[in-house]
Amino acid sequence: MNAPAGLPDLSHLWMPFTANKQFKANPRLLASAKGMYYTSADGRQILDGTAGLWCVNAGHCREEITQAIARQAGEMDYAPGFQLGHPLAFEAATAVASMMPAGLDRIFFTNSGSESVDTALKIALAYHRMRGDAQRTRLIGRERGYHGVGFGGISVGGISTNRKTFSGALLPAVDHLPHTHNLEHNAFKKGQPEWGAHLADELERLVALHDPSTIAAVIVEPMAGSTGVLIPPRGYLERLREITSRHGILLIFDEVITAFGRLGKGTASEYFGVTPDLITLAKGVSNAAVPAGAVAVRREVHDAIVNSAQGGIEFFHGYTYSAHPLAAAAVLATLDIYKREQLFERATRLAPAFEAAAHALRDAPHVVDIRNIGLVAGIELKSRDGAPGARAAEVFHKCFDSGLLVRYTGDILAVSPPLIIDEAQIGELFDRIGKILKETA
């Protein structure tokens, strides 16, 4: 394929989660970024309404982070993490632990959310085996859950498009809770909906069906982002915690997008006041400046594995790049910014203005629901007959072409800006979506 004038050859790159042919026929390229804005390859400023992919919580190209990475790259580019360590890795683990709920202070580093999920699932299996409960191998996820793209993650995940191609090769012992999304009961609710806590009781049904002695862990996103901003009904997470504790089942919260301030706290666990046994992390942990992820593990779970091994390696798992020096440097600089600039408190302070601006679109064309929590909003549109997703895709493209980055999944628009956004930018963001909805058939 010949490159269009001024563009590189687009043919070799197989793009992830992208309609490749469509993209390459009409490429939209980003060239640089600073603060709240991207600059497109054709020189336009694009307001970042989605913190990249829910990850650039402190805004783009923060000098403290880029300098920390550059310094580290010059000092020690790489250090093996198996049977060797480097000081920054330990410091980064301490810094991450300081932002986790009390008790979840053992940190395993990965490079992505998908790796964090598979790591957490393996820790759960190892925990039960080490305690003599090796028959606890069943994993329970939830419909509409997104837990990345590893075989573990898609098995416990609940998005059929991500599963069906690989359906013959998914993990065998998996079941799913129902999702909690319900427009009939919860449309246009601000914050946590009142209806739906009883859906957690479905876990009791699965426990009765499979017997608790076969179940290792339940994994859910406390707030599901990628499948359209699904906010947990009041009392729902509490019930999941109560049922899992009662049956000796580990509870994993996938906080790849909710941790590090999205809801105005270090974690959604802290925000909702429900503490799981493991938390998966990525994205905001390094402000996405270097790929990084982690699993925060309850100390007893860690100890059960590490203390019961008879010498040698306790957990046969890890990545060449776990706690990579550049990632560790980025994590430390990022978490320092969050604390110093009190960005989580800022998110809490901005949340009411964000909520008001989002819900001002209630009467805009096509809108069937608006939901929000912290600095996240989902705007659900009525699907076009016979073309689900087409309307939101058109809005996404028009937004981008007019200088605003949003996300869409199906016919749901998601907005999740960097936490450094100001009130004027919040107004601009939702006003622009409103204008584009009016221009969209």
Residues in the site for ligand PLP, rule: CB under 6 A? 112-114, 117, 146-148, 221, 225-226, 254, 256-257, 282
Give phi and psi for 104, each to the nearest 5: -95, 70
Min CB(267)–ligand PLP separation in Å? 13
CB atoms within 10 A of CB 227: 22
Residue 117 or 207: the one with the smaller Cβ distance to ligand PLP is 117
Q: How far is Cα 421 from Cα 276, in angstroms, rounded to an integer? A: 30
Min CB(14)–ligand PLP separation in Å? 16
Q: How far is Cα 347 from Cα 336, in angstroms, rounded to an integer? A: 16
Residue 138 or 147: the one with the smaller Cβ distance to ligand PLP is 147
- CA torsion through residues 146, 150, 151, 153, sign: negative
Residues 6+ apart with CB under 8 A from 221: 142, 145, 146, 147, 230, 253, 254, 255, 256, 257, 258
Q: How far is Cα 422 from Cα 432, in angstroms, rounded to an integer? A: 15
Q: How far is Cα 436 from Cα 47, in angstroms, rounded to an integer? A: 15
Residue 113 or 228: the one with the smaller Cβ distance to ligand PLP is 113
- Dump the DSSP string for 21-68: HHHHHS---EEEEEBTEEEETTS-EEEESSHHHHT-TT-BT-HHHHHH
Q: How far is Cα 27 from Cα 6, in angstroms, rounded to an integer? A: 12
Residue 292 or 399: the one with the smaller Cβ distance to ligand PLP is 292
Give the amino acid at 427. G
Min CB(141)–ligand PLP separation in Å? 11
Min CB(87)–ligand PLP separation in Å? 26
Residue 114 or 275: the one with the smaller Cβ distance to ligand PLP is 114
Min CB(44)–ligand PLP separation in Å? 26
Residue 267 or 425: the one with the smaller Cβ distance to ligand PLP is 267
Residue 81 or 158: the one with the smaller Cβ distance to ligand PLP is 158
Residue 141 or 325: the one with the smaller Cβ distance to ligand PLP is 141
Min CB(157)–ligand PLP separation in Å? 8
Residues 6+ apart with CB under 8 A from 225: 54, 146, 257, 258, 376, 414, 416
| 434 membership: H or E segment, kind and range | helix 423-439
Min CB(259)–ligand PLP separation in Å? 10
Min CB(257)–ligand PLP separation in Å? 4
